[in-house]
A = this chain, B = another copy of it.
């Protein structure tokens, strides 16, 4: 039987792998519960809710304000192409509207419709209660 030598470069390999697997498992369990509950009760996926929430936060006090797709992509951790497909679904459902940026014709901006704002408000308690159930210590 060999005794592993202490390794200064990888001081706690098992601890790191355990921490990573725990993080992945928590993320997967929470995402799965959010997808299921938000879909069943409000017809929204987890990332769709997340985009509506960022739009509510980013445009508070100004219901005609817009966010650029690039800004949204960073905060919701989606690729630009996945986010564009998601925004197209939200637009088809009447929850957001897209427009070209006035100052940059290549950029696309998104704003909430009033239907999008009410759908977010309706789904918010479900989102919070799933987080309370899955993330509470």
Contact = CB atoms under 8 A, between A and B. Distances in A.
Given A23-B23, A25-B77, A77-B25, A132 B30 contact: no
A16 B77 contact: no
A127 to B, nearest CB: 8
Count of chain copies: 2
Nearest to A75: B21
Interface string A65-86: 0000000000001000000000
A131 interface: yes
Interface string A1-43: 0000000011001001101100111111010000000000000
Interface of A: 9-10, 13, 16-17, 19-20, 23-28, 30, 77, 125, 128-129, 131-132, 135-136
